[in-house]
Structure 1
Amino acid sequence: MATYIEFVSNPIFPLIITPLFLLCFYIYSQQHKYGKKMKQYHPVGGTKFNQLINYRRLHDYNTDLATKYKTYRVFNPFRGEIYTSDPTVVEYILKTNFENYGKGMYTHNVLKDLLGNGIFTVDGDEWKEQRKVSSHEFSNKVLRDFSGVVFTKTAIKVGNIFSKAANSNQTVDITDLFMKATTDSIFKVAFGIDVDNISGSNEEGARFSRAFDDANELVLRRFFDISWKIQKLLNIGTEAELRKNIKVIDDFVYKLIETKIEKMHNAIDDCSLKKEDILSRFLQMNNIDPKYIRDIIVNFVLAGKDPIATSLYWFIYMLCKHPQVQDKVAKEIQEATNMNMEELEITNVADFAARVSEQALHKMKYLHATLTETIRLYPALSLDPKICFSDDVLPDGCNVKKGDVVVYLPYAMGRMKFIWGDDALEFKPERWLDHNGCFHPENPFKFTAFQAGPRTCLGRDFAYRQMKIFSSILLGCFAFKLTDENKIPMYRTMINLQIDGPLHISVSKRYGAANKAEGSKGKDMM
C-alpha cells in the first residue's frame, strides 16, 4: 500500500492523469453535444480523480456537491456515474422502477472477493431466495428471545468495564469497545459462537475483526480507484493488502463452519443447539456448499457488527456534545424502568439491566428518536450504488444509460436543508416526535439509512432493539463526557461509517432520574 500511496502522492502523478481525464471528458462532452440534443443529462459535478483526491473526506465532498446539485454526474472514462440526494429519484430507483436498478455485475465484481454471492451482492432469484430465508429468521420468536438475552449479557459486560473505569477515573475508547461488543453479539446470535472479543482473550477473533474492517475499507476503495484491477492482477498496493485480509477472514470462517458442524454432529439430542442461532438452521438444509455458508456468514457480520457499533458510538458522541439531551434520555430510561426518587443509587449493572423489559423499551420514545436522529446525521451506510439495467429517464427528466451507476447518498441526504429544513445540520431528536411525544417515522425515501422499497433492511427492528437495550442499560447507569471536548472525530471511508481511530470518553455513575451524575458520589457498581 505504501508504494501505491507514494505513487499517487508523487508530484508527477497529476501531470500524467489530468491530461488523460481532460481528453476523456472532452470526448464525453462531445458525445452529448452532437446527435443527442433531445436528451437531458445531469450537470457534471466532478471526476473520479476529484473523488480520489478527496477520498478521506469523500462523504463530505459528496455533500458539498449535493448542496449545489440535487443530482449530479461524476465523470468516469469507463462508465456513467450519477449521484443523487433527491428523494423522488431515490424512490424511483428503489421502488417505482426497482427491477431496472440492482447490484449488477459491476457491483458484484467489486464486492465479491469479500462478500461472495451473499445477499448484498446478488440480484434476481439468488437475492429473493436469501431474502426469504433471512426474513423468516428475523421474524422467528426463538431468535428474538435468544438475541435479547445475548444483547443484555453483552451490555452488562460493557457496563462492568465502564464501572471499573468510573471507579479508577480511567477513560474508555468506545470505538474499540463497542466494535468488540457487537462482534461478540452477532457471532453468538447468528452463529452460536463465543468469540469473547470484549475480554481480549481470543486473539484469533481479534485478528478476524481487524482483517474484516480493513477489507471493508479496501473493497469500497475499488469504486473510486480505477486502477484496482491492475493492482489485483499484479498483486500490489491496496489489492495485495486486501488479499491478505481476505485470507485471514476465510481461514477464520471456514474453521468456524467446521467447528459448528462437528458440534451439531456431537449433540444430536440438543434441540436448542439446532434452533437458536441462524447458522445452525442453515446447516440443517440439504447439500449446503461451504462457500455458500461462508458468504452468508460474512454478509451477516457486515450487517450485524459494524452498523450497530458505529451507530452506538456516534450516538454517545452526540450525547456528549449535547449533555441536555443525554440527561433527558437518561431520565426517560429511569422513569421507564420504574426507578423512584428513593432509589438514588444504582449499585449493580446486572440489577438495573433486569429492569429493562420489553414494556420498558416500548416506553422509551425519546431514546428511539435520539438514536434515529444520530443515524440521520451518521448513517452506517453512507452511499449505496445501483446499476441501471436498461436506458431510462429519471423523474427529474434526465437520462440514464444502460450500465450507468446510480448512487444515492444517505449521509448527504441527512444534511440537506431542502429535505429537513433550515435546521438540517442541528442535532434535534424532537423532529421525530409528535405533539404527544410519540415517535413518528419519516418517508423512507427521505430517511434512507435502512434503504427502502423491496430491499428495505430486514434487520432494522433487530438493530433498533439491540441499540435500545445497550443504550438504556448504559445510560441508565452512567453519564458520559468526551475526554477532549474539542475533538471532532473523522471517519474511515469504508462500507460503514466507522470513526477513524479511538474516541476516548470519561465515565461517571448516574444516580437517580433527577440528579446529574457529575456531582454525585455512591457505591461501587460491581
Structure 2
Amino acid sequence: MAVSVDLLSNPVFVLGSFLVLFIFHNYLHKQPQHGKKYHPTAATVLHLLFNYDKLHDYMTTLSEKYKAYRLYNPVHGMVYTTDPVNVEYILKTNFKNYGKGYYIRSVTSDLLGEGIFTVDGDQWREQRKVASQEFSTKVLRDFSSVTFRTNTIKLGKILSQAADSNEIIDINDLFMKLTMDSIFKVGFGIELDNLGGNEEGVRFSLAFDDANNLTYKRFVDPTWKIKKFFNIGLEAELKRNLKIIDDFVYKVIQLKIEQMQMSKDESLLKKDDILSRFVEVHHNNPKYLRDIILNFVLAGKDPIAISMSWLIYELCKHPEIQEKVAKEILEALNVKSEEIIDVVDFIDRVTDSALEKMPYLHAALSESIRLYPALPMDPKVSFGDDVLPDGCSVKRGDMVAYMPYAMGRMKFIWGDDALEFKPERWLDQDGRYRQESPFKFTAFQAGPRTCLGREFAYRHLKIIASVLLGCFVFKLSNEKQVMSYRVSINVHVEGPLRVCVSRRSGFQNP
C-alpha cells in the first residue's frame, strides 16, 4: 500500500483525516437544500485511500448497494455510477455537459499533456478528426498488422524455447514488451526491441508504466500538489520518470523531423508510422507531437497487453474453454492435428477471412475484457448543474464517473452469473457473436468519445491469441494462484503472471 503508507506516515494528514471524518459526519445529517435530490453518500475519499490496493473491488461492493452514489470530498463532489441509463446520458444524450475539465486535466497533464485523453472542445475535436482519419486508412491497417505479426513471431520463438527447456515464463511481461514494441513501431516508426532486451527501450517502458501508476494515485491523494511543489515523496518519483520519458520521446521526435526534412519528396502515403504523418502538419511543435504520441501509446499498448494477460489467466483457470478456443482456431485455419508446422507457417494462415471464422475466440476476448476492462473507471466533470435520468442532481464542477470494472460485475446488468468467465454469453443460439450495448459493455466508451481503436484492438488481439493458443498450451505455474490487479490508470496484472507453456501436438520449434 505505497500510497497509504506515504500518506498515513504524515501526522498532519492523520489529523486532517479526523477533521474530514468529523465534517463528513455532520454532512450526512444535513438535509438537501432547495428540494433537490442527491445520490446517497456511501463513503469518503479517505475510504478510497484506506482501500487503495483493492480500490475497484471496494467500489464494486458499494455499487452492489447503490447504482449511483457520492463519495464525500471536501474539495469537490464525486459521483459514481454503474447504471447504463446514466452512462448513456453522460456519454451521449448530454455529452456536451461532461468532459475532462480542469480537475482531470490538472491531474493527468504532466504525463499526457494536451493529448486526446485530457482535452475538451475544439482541441479534442481536432485530434479526434485526425485520429479518425488515421484509423480509417488502409496504410495504418496494413502496417500495424505486419508489425503485430512480426512481433508475435518473435514471441512465439521465445515461447518455443521455454517449452523446450520447461522454463516458467512471465507471460504478462512478454505481452507488455510485445505491445510496446508494436505500438512504438506503428506510432514512431522505430524498433524499440523490448522483446530483444534493448536497455534503452526497457528503461523507457518501465518509466512509462511507473508514471502511469503514480499519476493515478493523484486522484486519491489530496496532498499531491504540495508534494509536487516541494518535489518530495511520490511526486519526486514521478518527476524522475517523466524526465526519462521526455528525454527519450523528444530525441525520437527530433530524429523523425530531421528524417522528414531530408526526404520532402516522398509521398505522405509512403510514411507508414503515425508520427510521420503528424510531423507533416505540426513539425514546429515538438510538445504537441510528444502529447499526441504518448496518448496513442497509452491507448494502444496497455489495453492489448492487459487483455491478453487476463485472457491467458482465465483460460488457465478454465482449461476446457482454452481447448474449445484452440479447437475453433485450428478448424478456422484448416490445420490438421497431425500436420507439423512452425509459428511462421502458422501465422501465414491467419488471414482476415480466417479471423472472421473465430466467434468463440472473439467471445472469450470480450468476456475477459468485461471482467478486466483496461480502463476500470472513467471520470468526467460536469460543466453545469444537471439532473441524471435517475432523478438525482449533480452540481457544476462535480466529478461524475462511470465504472466499467464494477459494471462488468453487476448482476442487474449481466445476470446472476456475472462473476463467471462465460464466453457463451456473447453468442446467439446459432453460435454467432452478439454485440452488446456500449452503455452496458463500456470498456470502449460510447457516444462521441467511442474508442476509435476498438476494431484495431480486437483485430490484433485475435491475431496474437490465435497464434499463441493455436500453437501452445498454457498452465499456471501455481494452479492455485489467484491473480489481482495493480491500481493504475489501467487494470494491469499485479506482479508476474508465471505460466508453463508446451507445444500443441504437431508443432515444432520455429
In the superposition, the TM-score normalised over structure 2's length comes to 0.97
Q: Which residue of 2 is the match for residue 16 of structure 1?
A: 15
Asked if 2 retains the 8 angstrom alpha-carbon contact of 1:491 and 1:499, the reply is yes
Q: Identify the residue that residue 174 of structure 1 maps to in structure 2.
A: 171
| 1:183 partner SS | helix
**Aligned counterparts, 1:332-481, within 5 A:** 332-340=328-336, 343-481=337-475
Deviations 1:45-69 (A, max 9, x none): 1111110011111000000100111
User: Secondary structure at 1:363's aligned position in 2?
Assistant: coil
Corresponding position: 1:115 with 2:112:
yes
Q: Contact 1:54–1:61 at 8 Å: present in 2 too?
A: yes
1:299 aligns with 2:295: yes
Q: 2:477 is matched by which residue type in structure 1?
A: T
Q: Is the 8 A contact 2:4 2:52 kept in 1?
A: no
Task: Indicate conservation of the 8 Å contact 1:173/1:502, yes or no.
Answer: yes
Cα distance in 2 between the residues matched to 1:355 and 1:53: 51
Which residue of the other structure, out of 302, 307, 310, is the alignment partner of 1:311?
A: 307
Identity %: 61
Match of 2:73 among 69, 72, 76: 76
- Residue in structure 2 matched with residue 198 of structure 1 by the alignment: 195
Does structure 1 retain, via aligned residues, the 8 Å contact 2:139–2:269? no
Q: Does the C-alpha gap of structure 1 residues 5 and 308 become closer, same or farther in structure 2, counting only changes over 3 Å? A: same
User: What does 1:208-219 correspond to in 2, within 5 Å?
Assistant: 208-219=204-215
Which amino acid letter does the alignment assign opposite residue 454 of structure 1? P
- TM-superposed CA distance for 1:434, in Å, is 0.5
Query: What SS does the aligned partner of 2:91 have?
Result: helix
Tell me what 1:281 maps to.
277
Q: Distance in 1 between matches of 2:284 and 2:434?
A: 42
Deviations 1:148-204 (A, max 9, x none): 11111111111111101111111110111000000010011121111011010x211
Q: After TM superposition, give the deviation of residue 39 of structure 1 in Å.
A: 0.9
Structure 1: tracts of 5 or more residues without a match: 512-521
Number of residue pairs matched by the alignment: 510
Secondary structure of 1:284's aligned partner: helix
2:499 to 490, 495, 505: 505
Q: TM-score, normalised by structure 1?
A: 0.94
Kindly indicate whether residue 138 of structure 2 is the aligned counterpart of residue 141 of structure 1: yes
Letter in 2 for 1:282: F
Q: Tell me if 1:331 matches 2:323.
A: no
Q: Which has the larger displacement, 17-26 or 371-380?
A: 17-26
Distance 2:130 2:13 in 1: 49
- Asked if the contact 1:346–1:477 (Cα under 8 Å) also holds between the matched residues in 2, the reply is no
CA offsets per residue over residues 80-137 of structure 1, 9 Å max, x none? 0001111111111000100000000111111100000000000000000000000000
Structure 1 residue 92 corresponds to structure 2 residue 89 = yes
Residue 75 of structure 1 and its aligned partner are, at CA, apart by: 0.5
- 3-state SS in 1 of match to 2:485: coil
| CA distances 1:398-432 after superposition (whole Å, capped 9, x unpaired) | 11000000011000000000000001001110100
Q: CA deviation at 1:261?
A: 1.6
Per the alignment, do residues 299 and 150 of structure 1 end up closer, same or farther by CA in structure 2, a change over 3 Å counting? same
The residue type equivalent to 2:22 in the other structure is L
User: How far did residue 285 of structure 1 move?
Assistant: 1.2
Q: Pick which of 321-330 and 20-29 moved more.
A: 20-29
* Amino acid in the other structure paired with 2:364: T
After TM superposition, list the pairs within 5 Å mapping 1:511-526 onto structure 2. Answer: 511=505, 524-526=508-510
Map of 1:13-92 to 2, 5 A cutoff? 16-26=15-25, 28-29=27-28, 32-33=30-31, 35-36=33-34, 38-92=35-89
Q: Distance in 2 between matches of 1:145 and 1:497?
A: 29
Contact 2:379 2:401 in 1 (8 A): yes
